[in-house]
Amino acid sequence: MSIQNAGGLPDSHIYPNKLYNQSQTLKIEQIINQQMDARLVQAYIREYLDTLNPNQIDKYFELPVQQSAQIQKVVRYENLSLILQEMSHLLSHLSPECTKQSCPTMLATVEWKFLCTVHGQEPQDCCAVSYSSHFLDSGFPTFIKSCSQEFLQPNNRTLVAEAIKNYQFIERRSYRILAHGYFHHKQAFTVFEKQRYLYRRFIKYLNVYAPKQVASMVPFIPLEEFQ
């Protein structure tokens, strides 16, 4: 059943209007509790993140609820999931100028070239747009399948270990898309970043959940560019 607003039009909220504040952010502190089923917690957190404005970077990671170990894992999972989805929007934004002809190889700078691993046993050259699409098309379903187990089945050490490895893989590969966009399509990338705060949110995510990964993000995009 669709929810309707006071004017009788379909409402974009997936929960009743009373569960949202004046800024249209979900009142997650009033509806979530520590005893909830993991999937319900996940649904509420995802809706809360979806209602934030892109420039509210800190709020994506500092929820106004007691952050149990389970909730922290859900917040990490949902943040990276949203970042991956936003990267697909970045690719669409860059598509007029990032083509097979303009970017036949996946490069960050001339010193940093990346090979695609989805073509068989041996990595090979792939144009930047195909490299990025291949990564998102293959990496996102794997991420959904394996990383959600880290909080839905936290006592299974094998699944948790697999999820941790997958997080690290996704984080490294995600940065390559950002680096290519910045160093080869700087003007278009900057327009997108100033609207969507994707790169700044990604770096905040790393600083919160994987600080050791920050040093491996090379070549590094200076944050000062977007202040």
CB count, 10 Å around CB of 58? Answer: 11
Domain layout of the chain by residue ranges: 69-226
pLDDT tens column, 186-198: 999 999 999 999 9
- How far apart CA 139 and CA 19 sit, in angstroms, is 34
Fold of 69-226: Butyryl-CoA Dehydrogenase, subunit A; domain 3 (1.20.140)
Chain mean pLDDT for the chain: 86
107 bridge partner residues: 113
Question: In the structure, how many helices (H) and strands (E) does the chain have?
Answer: 9, 0
pLDDT tens column, 58-108: 999 999 988 888 889 999 999 999 999 999 999 999 999 999 999 999 888
CB count, 10 Å around CB of 149? Answer: 17
Q: Which of 125, 130, 120 is nearest to 100 (CA)?
A: 130
Task: Name the phi and psi angles at 168, rounded to 5.
Answer: -60, -40
- How far apart CA 205 and CA 212 sit, in angstroms, is 12
Contact 184, 103 (CB under 8 A): yes
116 bridge partner residues: 124
- pLDDT bin (cut points 50, 70, 90) of residue 1 is very low
Q: Residue type at 18?
A: K
Contact 150, 73 (CB under 8 A): yes
Bond preceding residue 219 cis, omega within 30 of 0: yes
- How far apart CA 25 and CA 21 sit, in angstroms, is 6
pLDDT tens column, 105-140: 988 877 778 877 776 677 788 889 998 998 888 888
